[in-house]
Structure formats: structure tokens, C-alpha cells
Amino acid sequence: MNVYQTPEFSELVRGNTYPGRGIILGRTEDGSRAVAAYFIMGRSANSRNRVFTVRDGAVFTEPFDASRVEDPRLIIYAALRQFKNMLIVTNGDQTDTVYEGLQAGKTFSESLETRCFEPDAPNFTPRISGLFTLDPLKLRYEMSILKSIDAEGSDCARFVFSYPAKPGLGHFIHTYVRDGNPLPTFSGEPERVKIGSDIDAFTGALWENLDADNRISLYVRFIDPATGTYEERLINRNR
């Protein structure tokens, strides 16, 4: 197998009913823009009762029907925020932890030292996070996964990956390998994935290849690192 092979997104999720929540960071094929994407899926009524909303350049998960919320602790959070020229994307309220850490002069990995996997035994859902540094002279991103070290949730294993942003290349990290009970957590390095230069084609390919029964919301942003301007696309199953 060629370790440098870069598949289409469809090849990575084909037949997978439940990769969970996922982050993609990378660079457009023409090299002009940074790319960030985040999606959520859901099996339970509580998880499915969500939408993405955009406020002041940040992306939030919110209840679709507030009267049906059972437990907001792990499903309602800021998914994407920006601090200076750094874009933060995560699958939980550690978005705010990273934001506050950067404000205090900490690095991405230092900011996450106070956090671990989610307390949802027996799954112990990993916390996945990404940080894109939008420096046009050195465009780069980091990705992290915090996961249980064993089936009992006795301690947290921490992994951080750092990449130069190369044209046409992205990396994809998600919470689960596949559906199951308990859910098997993602393992290994983030997966390489192709990224084109058309935001609508890219967004459509992501949404269309996520399992139709379990997909909930998708957000995509294409950013010009020289100016900070961006295009965005948002899809909510519930709207």
C-alpha cells in the first residue's frame, strides 16, 4: 500500500454508517485557500436534535427543538472560533479551552493538557481538535485526539499531529472507526484526503457521502490566508 496515496473523501467513508464527528483541515488544489470542515452525526434522539448556527464568525451547535433536549452537556458547544490568525475547530467545549489557552500564550497542545476524552462510558468518545495557523508564508495546521487508554477509561492518551498545508492535500480525523457497541475510537494518524478548489463541489461530496440516516450537520470554510476573507457553506438536516 502506498502510504502517500491521497483518496477522495468518498473512499474513506464508503459503507461506514457511523464515523461520528469529523474534522478536515487542508489546502485547496490551486493553493490559494486554507480549508476547514466539521461535521456531526447522531444515533440518539438527543444527538439528532441539533443544528449548526453561525454568529459573529463562530460556529455553534444548538438544539433544533429546545423542548426535546435531554442532556446539553456534550452536544451544545462552540465548534469553530478564531483567535487572531488561528482558526480553532473541535468536537466539544474544548474549543473554548484552546481559545483561552492561546489568549494566555499557550500552545495548542499545552491548552489541551487540562482536557481528556468525554465522560460517556462505555464509549469514552475522543475529543478531536484542530488549529489552523493562517500565515500565508507558512500555512500550517495541527490536529489532536485525546482518547481513553483502555476500556475502563482509567487515563487519557494524547496525540498531536502537525502538518504543513500543501496544495490539494487535507487530513481527516473522526471520533469513531465505525458503528458498534461500544463505539470503537479512531486510531492512528489522521487520514490523507484530496481537496479540490471548488467549495460547492467539496461540500457536496462531504455531505453526499456521509450516511444519510445518521448525518446531522456540516460546515465548510475556504479562507484566503493573505486577507482573512472566506467563503462558507452550511448544511443542516433539520432545516
pLDDT digits (tens, 9 = 90+) for 198-239: 999 999 999 999 999 999 999 999 999 999 999 999 999 998
- Could you list the residue range(s) of the whole structural domain that residue 221 is in? 9-236
Looking at residue 134, its pLDDT comes to 98
Inside any domain, residue 103: yes
Looking at residue 75, its pLDDT comes to 80
Inside any domain, residue 121: yes
HEC readout, the chain = CCCCCCCCHHHHHCCCCCCCCEEEEEECCCCCCEEEEEEEECCCHHHHCEEEEEECCEEEEEECCHHHCCCCCCCCCEEEEEECCEEEEECCCHHHHHHHHHHCCCCHHHHHHHCCCCCCCCCCCCEEEEEEECCCCCCEEEEEEEEECCCCCCCEEEEEEEEECCCCEEEEEECECCCCCCCCECCCCCEEEECCCCHHHHHHHHHHHCCCCCEEEEEEEEECCCCCCEEEEEEECCC
Taken in order 57, 58, 61, 65, is the CA torsion positive or negative? negative
Looking at residue 152, its pLDDT comes to 97
Inside any domain, residue 1: no
Looking at residue 132, its pLDDT comes to 98
CB atoms closer than 10 angstroms to residue 152: 10
Looking at residue 182, its pLDDT comes to 95
Looking at residue 34, its pLDDT comes to 98
Inside any domain, residue 73: yes
Question: In this structure, are residues 34 and 222 in contact, taking their beta carbons and an 8 Å threshold?
Answer: yes
pLDDT digits (tens, 9 = 90+) for 132-151: 999 999 999 999 999 999 99
pTM across the whole model: 0.96
Inside any domain, residue 112: yes
Inside any domain, residue 82: yes
Inside any domain, residue 226: yes
Residues whose CB is less than 8 angstroms from the CB of residue 76 and which lie 6 or more positions away in sequence, other chains included: 50, 60, 61, 62, 63, 69
102: domain CATH number is 3.60.20.20
Low-confidence ranges of the chain (pLDDT < 50): none
How many domains would you assign to the chain? 1
Inside any domain, residue 3: no
Looking at residue 238, its pLDDT comes to 93
